Amino acid sequence: MENMQTNLREHLPECKLDRSDQFKFYDKNGNNKILGAIQYSLLSDCSQKPLNTDDIPCPILRVPMKNLSLPHDMEIWYGAAEIHYETHQDIHLAYDSEYMFGCISLTVSPDNLDKMAFNAYTQVFHCMEMLNFPSLIRIWHFVPHINGITGDHDNYKSFSLGRARAFSENKRYSNATDYPAATAVGIEDDKLLFYFIASRESSPHVLENPLQVSAYNYPVQPGLMPPLFSRAVILSNETDSQLYLSGTASISGHKSMYSDVEKQFDTTIKNIETLIPKDDGNNNLNFSFENMILFKIYLKYEKDYGLIMSLINDRLNLNCPVIVLVSDICRSELLLEIEGILHKTNENADT
CATH number at residue 274: 3.30.1330.40
Q: How far apart are CA 294 and CA 200, in angstroms?
A: 24
pLDDT digits 0-9 by tens, 169-199 = 999 898 788 999 999 999 999 999 999 999 9
Strands (E), the chain: 14-19, 34-40, 60-63, 73-78, 84-88, 91-95, 99-107, 135-144, 149-150, 153-154, 181-187, 191-199, 205-207, 232-236, 240-248, 251-252, 255-256, 292-299, 322-326, 336-345
Tell me which residues of the chain have a pLDDT lower than 70. Answer: 1-8, 27-30, 44-54, 279-284, 348-351
What is residue 346's predicted lDDT score, i.e. its pLDDT? Answer: 82
What is residue 347's predicted lDDT score, i.e. its pLDDT? Answer: 73
What is residue 350's predicted lDDT score, i.e. its pLDDT? Answer: 57
What is residue 8's predicted lDDT score, i.e. its pLDDT? Answer: 54
Q: How far apart are CA 112 and CA 114, in angstroms?
A: 6
Q: Is 124 within the bounds of a domain?
A: yes
- This prediction has a pTM of 0.94
Q: What is the bridge-based pairing of β-strands 255-256 and 292-299?
A: unpaired
What is residue 110's predicted lDDT score, i.e. its pLDDT? Answer: 86
Q: How many domains does the chain have?
A: 1
Residue 245 belongs to what domain range?
2-345
Q: Is 60 within the bounds of a domain?
A: yes
Q: How far apart are CA 118 and CA 129, in angstroms?
A: 16
Q: Is 320 within the bounds of a domain?
A: yes
Are residues 137 and 180 in contact, defined by beta-carbon separation less than 8 angstroms? yes
Q: Is 351 within the bounds of a domain?
A: no
What is residue 3's predicted lDDT score, i.e. its pLDDT? Answer: 41
Q: Is 350 within the bounds of a domain?
A: no
